[in-house]
Structure 1
Amino acid sequence: MDVKDFDYELPEELIAQDPLLKRDQSRLLVLDPETGAMEHRHFYDIRDYLRAGDCLVINNTRVIPARLLGAKEETGAKVEVLLLINHGGDNWETLVKPGRKCREGARISFGEGLLVGQVTKVLEDGNRMIHFSYQGIWEEVLDRLGQMPLPPYIHHQLADKNRYQTVYAKHDGSAAAPTAGLHFTPELLEEIRKSGVEIAEVTLHVGLGTFRPVKADRVEDHDMHSEYYVVGQEAADTINRARANGGRIIAVGTTSTRTLESVAEADGTIPVKSGWTKIFIYPGYQFKAIDGLITNFHLPQSTLLMLVSALAGRDHILKAYREAVEEKYRFFSFGDAMFIKPREK
């Protein structure tokens, strides 16, 4: 399968640079995966497509301000560090720019010495292991010095860091937001609960690899990044109960989808499980866990576009994207949403 089969034309002015003031006012393209039929609604209308007994699965990861701007102690050269994975204590796997200036032993100062990092190892892929030293509480230091690691297509920092968090974010660990969830408000979630829809929370810490382009020519040759997930007892029980009672499982975002599909047994049962996943979902994949999907509009030739194409069909997805462009939908992380309806059983 050729990566170029997942390309489409997108005018740059349709790439959303800021979130809407009211989260649930974004537009919603509703797609029928069987017929390709489309409806144009607003996100708050999502409640019209959910019914009592369904289960909405959300990813409660929290984005950390993982972008740190500092300087080498020896030379004063500017250095950017992106926190990727915590390896215990104050030891982090990081992406350093420019990496060539930060060999093993190099010390980097942030906030005039409030935080100091020392490179302890250069990894095979070029990432750096860094041990951090500081006074006080790590989360408070990071909140003071760090910036949100926004995607490369967003050209300025946010005035309010919380706009790059879902309203249900709980567990620190992501370098990028699970953006399909950004459209929900507490009020909308409460309305959905009151309508008889169950809400299950899983965790998948989104890595910067989510922005990594597919460099292989063939889809099958792409190597996915690895991300850490947790599916707890309460979430597993809620999802399995809904499925057993005939409810539909609606994933909020590709991260929730990848979590459920990583752990699901052949019959769709969700076990209690945690670990690392590199699951790569593209057309031909047989979904076990989810029935429908709430998602954003994804980059051309991206693994996320391949995932939604696996669920709704590449032709239907690309046609929907063309219509979204014609209708001037807002694209990517701060853009509008799509709902891929469950197929009728």
Structure 2
Amino acid sequence: MTLALRVPEELSARVPAEQRGPGRERDSVRLLVSRGTQVAHHVFRELPGLVRAGDLLVVNTSSTLAAAVDGWIGHARVVAHFSTRGDDGRWAVELRDPDGRGTTRARAGGPAGTEVRLAGGVRLVCEEPLSGGSGRLWWARVSGGTVPGLLREHGRPIRYSYTEREQPLSVYQTVFALPSDDGSGSAEMPSAARPFTARLVAELVSRGVCFAPVTLHTGVASAEVHEPPYPERFAVPEASARLINAVRAGDGRVIAVGTTAVRAVESAAGPDGVVRACEGWTDLVVTPGRGVRVVDGLLTGLHEPEASHLLMLEAVAGRAAIDRGYAEALRGRYLWHEFGDVHLVLPEEPHTEHCDSNML
């Protein structure tokens, strides 16, 4: 799915919401609500009034890594983006060139045997491409130290060119983030959950909304070419699987917070729509043809017109709803990317025309 629209550069969110002026907090971003042909405009802190008692929000507990580390190939400076930890101890990495502005630009990865010198005496050797069709990400082996230690001591969050300046790692953590025992995490923030605050979570719980934690460690996306997602590690615990199934058996709605949460839950669902506890790797790509078996709604950021994630949104709500929502987002000057505004997508129901716009 490609949207027939262009996102003006000035609609990129350059700094987090809480840095845009006095009194601003994470939950002060705007919230676009789409269902069918209906679109409503809100502020994110109004979310408790837009969901119902008995609804379930599925949230990703993956923490964001300081995944960018400076290095050298010979005398040439490079930046290594650590994407995904493999079961054999290797890491999928992307090598990029510094652009002189604190961000990076694409470079040819590899070839096999390329050695990168990193800080602290750590060395990285590229061994083979992650995918036969792309040389962007490479499986690489690290010696002279551990990757968690390297990232902790010398890493910084991955930053893209539309942002104004470097930010501390805390800015890239969501309220749901939990550190993993083995140092795994997400190379890029599961950003749909960023607007949540502890106060807002408490208010939602007090109104009868439940939360189901899952984990999916997201890898490095392509900033230049919008590739389908690579296999990613995920886990759906038993308690969350039971809660999701109970809500689906009742009158509540299962609303995923972020495309990562959708991928995790749908990967754990059988053809019968029953979610079962599981963990491992998922290569699932949710498309309109595959559809969704569990998720009723999706809270997500605004994606580029070429992004493969748009197929997932279409699977949840239909093409017409996504077209209308994105046209409204442009008209309303919503902000894109990880520090930007968010979009609540719900499927159209037969009684939509009678629905109170404040109870979508």
Q: TM-score, with normalisation over the residues of structure 2? A: 0.83
> Residues 291 and 343 of structure 1 are in contact (CA less than 8 Å); yes or no, is this contact kept in structure 2?
no
> Structure 2 CA distance, aligned partners of 1:71 and 1:53?
53
> Residues 23 and 182 of structure 1 are in contact (CA less than 8 Å); yes or no, is this contact kept in structure 2?
yes
Q: Pick from 172, 190, 213 the counterpart of residue 178 of structure 1.
A: 190
SS in 2 for 1:97: strand
SS in 1 for 2:122: strand
How is 1:187-226 mapped onto 2 (pairs within 5 angstroms)?
Answer: 187-209=199-221, 211=223, 213-214=225-226, 224-226=229-231
SS in 2 for 1:289: coil
1:7 aligns with 2:12: no
> Structure 2 CA distance, aligned partners of 1:299 and 1:264?
28
In the alignment, which residue of structure 1 is the partner of 2:156? Answer: 147
Indicate how the Cα distance of structure 1 residues 249 and 102 shifts in structure 2: closer, same or farther if over 3 A, else same. Answer: closer
> Structure 2 CA distance, aligned partners of 1:316 and 1:324?
12
> Structure 2 CA distance, aligned partners of 1:230 and 1:60?
10
SS in 2 for 1:293: strand
In the alignment, which residue of structure 1 is the partner of 2:30? Answer: 27
In the alignment, which residue of structure 1 is the partner of 2:66? Answer: 65
Q: TM-score, with normalisation over the residues of structure 1? A: 0.86
One-letter amino acid of the counterpart of residue 204, structure 1? L
189-198 or 117-126, larger mean C-alpha shift: 117-126
How is 1:58-137 mapped onto 2 (pairs within 5 angstroms)?
Answer: 58-72=59-73, 75-88=74-87, 91-97=90-96, 103-111=111-119, 114-119=120-125, 121-123=127-129, 124=132, 125-126=134-135, 127-134=137-144
> Structure 2 CA distance, aligned partners of 1:189 and 1:53?
15
Q: For residues 174-199 of structure 1, give each alpha carbon's deviation from its aligned partner in whole angstroms, at most 9, with x where no partner exists.
A: 11111110110011111111211110
One-letter amino acid of the counterpart of residue 167, structure 1? V
Q: CA deviation at 1:305?
A: 1.7
In the alignment, which residue of structure 2 is the partner of 1:161? Answer: 169
How is 1:275-290 mapped onto 2 (pairs within 5 angstroms)?
Answer: 275-290=280-295
> Structure 1 CA distance, aligned partners of 2:54 and 2:126?
51
> Residues 210 and 225 of structure 1 are in contact (CA less than 8 Å); yes or no, is this contact kept in structure 2?
no
48-57 or 138-147, larger mean C-alpha shift: 138-147
In the alignment, which residue of structure 2 is the partner of 1:219? Answer: none
Percent sequence identity over aligned pairs: 31
Q: CA deviation at 1:134?
A: 4.1
Q: CA deviation at 1:308?
A: 1.1
Q: For residues 1-20 of structure 1, give each alpha carbon's deviation from its aligned partner in whole angstroms, at most 9, with x where no partner exists.
A: xx54x231211100111110
Indicate how the Cα distance of structure 1 residues 7 and 280 shifts in structure 2: closer, same or farther if over 3 A, else same. Answer: farther
RMSD: 2.4
SS in 1 for 2:6: coil
> Structure 1 CA distance, aligned partners of 2:345 and 2:91?
37
SS in 2 for 1:8: coil
Indicate how the Cα distance of structure 1 residues 101 and 309 shifts in structure 2: closer, same or farther if over 3 A, else same. Answer: closer
> Structure 2 CA distance, aligned partners of 1:115 and 1:266?
49
In structure 2, runs of 5+ residues without a counterpart are 19-24, 98-106, 351-360
